[in-house]
């Protein structure tokens, strides 16, 4: 159960395992000519002259196998401190041209979160066809796989069979021997990343991805970046705004992160967020006929789920795959996956009912959707990229097992159900082979145009207080609140939220301060 700081939109959690995403490549006729703005003079530590060839490159668009979409490859320097050295990374890009009617407003770049979520997969499966029609009519819908992700010089760590074993490692160790096994698993994962991805591993930070996004803005021919970032995508967007405030157009940061929180605080806050979401699920489940966790208040329901996890820890149940019985780690991940979206609550009730009757297949399927494991046993590189970015962005949450044990009471207070497992999951960066290059800090983006920050009051993965904090940190931040359940708010059924964001994107109309829906 490696769920530490994995932040992405609802659709990429529940539906990811079933998506058939077609790869993209360059070639064919070039798209419409555009004048790409040159590199800003303060970009990284390299001179604008060294970066100019990247900013002035032309994308060669072609049909990439999904109707209505075009794909291309953008070059970016592997190391922004040394551009032009011949060491580049390929950044996969996709777009769906504006459908009309109405005057085209430029490009709308979208990111689904993660870190590690495929922007191209998200665009093709959801954003490019599911965003509100008035927005798709006026904007070219664009996304990219950030460096280290999927089609863009991906970070790779373990084989499919090795990942199967890794996802089953007990993350609620009961004694020294089980703690040692968990540490060994984290070490082996980190060593696999170093062995398979040594070249890119030091260069996949959020800052690197934000600089790539400015290259993308330029080669698309846009003077300003218009962007919707969800979940971790809010940190990417806020980082971009702080680096390039004069290049900010209309930015929507939905399901916001707080960049000032340390790794341990982020993980503990997220633990509390999942407890909040579980409480909402428990209240709903208790009202349903045949709730597998029984009736009573959330505390009683939570105690029954925790007892079920304890039984699975001692004796996993069959799933139809002899090598992958449902133990505590996979069951916990399956439950967490369903808590991202209240529309998955009926599926979770059914999966828990079946598992408690001895059939763990449905709960395993939920866990597989979270890990982006396909039925043939192959994993997307989501978990590899997620660790690579998180472990580069901040120093590790804990120095070792003793530090985790000291922090257990605070995590268990944050979530009696999930606290122990999520505390131990926070050990994942401790043995990382590359030293962190970033640190927790506030992002102000001084001088940027108005930025819309969106928070959901009972968001499981990005607690509402993070959105409040980010809106306060950004000099031009405006908070839009959705009083509801689930992860992120845009396009999830609230007409108030969608109308407000659409007006901002289409007309530049900023909502009143602290507007609530």
CA distances from 202 to 148, 186, 193, 199, 489 (A): 10, 18, 11, 7, 33
Q: Which of 256, 249, 207, 209 has the alpha carbon at shortest distance from 231?
A: 256
Q: How long, in residues, is the chain?
A: 517
**Residue 213: its H or E element:** helix 206-219
CA distances from 466 to 275, 281, 442 (A): 16, 22, 12
Specify whether the CB–CB gap between 399 and 427 falls below 8 A.
Answer: no
Q: Report how far residue 499's alpha carbon sits from residue 132's, in angstroms, rounded to the nearest whole number.
A: 9
Q: Report how far residue 386's alpha carbon sits from residue 149's, in angstroms, rounded to the nearest whole number.
A: 9
Q: Report how far residue 171's alpha carbon sits from residue 424's, in angstroms, rounded to the nearest whole number.
A: 6
Q: Which residue has the tokens 């191209």?
A: 120
| SS3 at position 169 | coil
Quickly list DSSP for 381-405. Answer: SHHHHHHHHHHHHS--S-SSHHHHH
Omega of the bond leading into 373 within 30 degrees of 0 (cis): no
| SS3 at position 187 | helix
Q: Which residue has the tokens 């820890």?
A: 313
Choose, from 118, 152, 231, 384, the residue flagged as catalytic: 231
Q: Report how far residue 53's alpha carbon sits from residue 388's, in angstroms, rounded to the nearest whole number.
A: 28
Choose, from 164, 254, 341, 459, the residue flagged as catalytic: 459
Tokens (6 digits) for 135: 């927005």
Q: Which of 473, 478, 486 has the alpha carbon at shortest distance from 454?
A: 478
Quickly list DSSP for 327-354. Answer: -HHHHHHHHHHHHT-GGGHHHHHHHHHH
Tokens (6 digits) for 93: 């890009």
CA distances from 25 to 77, 153, 232, 465, 492 (A): 19, 13, 26, 41, 32
Quickly list DSSP for 287-303. Answer: HSTT-TT-SS-HHHHHH
Q: Which of 454, 508, 500, 507 has the alpha carbon at shortest distance from 477?
A: 454
Is 487 part of the annotated catalytic residue set? yes
Is 459 part of the annotated catalytic residue set? yes
Q: Report how far residue 98's alpha carbon sits from residue 119's, in angstroms, rounded to the nearest whole number.
A: 18
| SS3 at position 417 | coil
Is 203 part of the annotated catalytic residue set? no
Cite the active site residues: 231, 459, 487
């Amino acid at each position: 159960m490696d769920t530490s700081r994995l932040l992405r939109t609802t659709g990429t959690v529940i539906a990811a395992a079933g998506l058939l995403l077609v790869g993209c490549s360059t070639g064919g006729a070039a798209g419409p000519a555009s004048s790409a703005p040159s590199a800003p003079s303060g970009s990284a530590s390299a001179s604008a002259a060294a970066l100019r060839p990247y900013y002035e490159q032309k994308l060669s668009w072609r049909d990439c196998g999904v109707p209505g979409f075009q794909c291309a490859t953008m070059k970016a320097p592997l190391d922004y401190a040394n551009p032009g050295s011949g060491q580049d990374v390929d950044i996969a890009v996709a777009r769906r041209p504006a459908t009309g009617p109405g005057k085209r407003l430029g490009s709308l770049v979208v990111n689904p979160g993660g870190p590690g979520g495929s922007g191209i997969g998200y665009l093709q499966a959801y954003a490019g066809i599911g965003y509100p029609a008035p927005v798709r009519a006026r904007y070219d819908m664009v996304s990219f796989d950030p460096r280290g992700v999927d089609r863009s010089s991906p970070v790779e760590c373990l084989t499919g069979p090795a990942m199967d074993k890794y996802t089953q490692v007990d993350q609620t160790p009961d004694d020294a021997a089980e703690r040692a096994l968990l540490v060994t698993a984290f070490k082996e994962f980190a060593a696999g990343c170093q062995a398979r991805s040594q070249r890119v591993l030091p260069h996949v930070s959020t800052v690197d991805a934000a600089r790539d996004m400015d290259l993308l803005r330029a080669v698309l021919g846009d003077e300003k970046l218009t962007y919707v970032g969800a979940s971790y995508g809010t940190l990417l967007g806020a980082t971009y705004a702080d680096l390039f405030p004069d290049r900010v157009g209309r930015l929507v940061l939905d399901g916001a992160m707080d960049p000032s929180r340390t790794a341990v605080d982020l993980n503990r806050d997220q633990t509390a967020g999942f407890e909040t979401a579980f409480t909402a699920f428990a209240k709903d489940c208790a009202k349903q006929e045949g709730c597998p966790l029984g009736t009573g208040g959330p505390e009683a329901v939570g105690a029954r789920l925790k007892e079920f996890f304890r039984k699975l820890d001692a004796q996993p149940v069959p799933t139809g795959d002899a090598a992958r019985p449902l133990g505590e780690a996979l069951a916990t991940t399956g439950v967490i996956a369903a808590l991202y979206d209240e529309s998955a609550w009926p599926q979770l009730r059914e999966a828990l009912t079946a598992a408690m009757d001895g059939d763990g297949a449905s709960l395993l399927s939920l866990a597989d959707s979270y890990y982006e494991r396909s039925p043939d046993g192959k994993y997307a590189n989501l978990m590899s990229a997620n660790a690579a970015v998180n472990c580069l962005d901040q120093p590790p949450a804990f120095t070792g097992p003793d530090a985790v044990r000291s922090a257990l009471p605070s995590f268990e207070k944050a979530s009696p159900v999930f606290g122990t497992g999520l505390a131990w999951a926070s050990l994942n960066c401790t043995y990382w082979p590359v030293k962190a290059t970033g640190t927790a800090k506030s992002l102000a983006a001084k001088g940027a145009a108005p930025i819309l920050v969106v928070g959901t009051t009972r968001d499981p993965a990005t607690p509402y207080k993070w959105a409040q904090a980010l809106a306060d940190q950004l000099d031009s931040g405006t908070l839009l609140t959705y009083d509801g359940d689930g992860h992120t708010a845009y396009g999830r059924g609230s007409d108030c939220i969608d109308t407000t964001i659409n007006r901002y994107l289409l007309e530049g109309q900023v909502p009143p301060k602290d507007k609530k829906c």
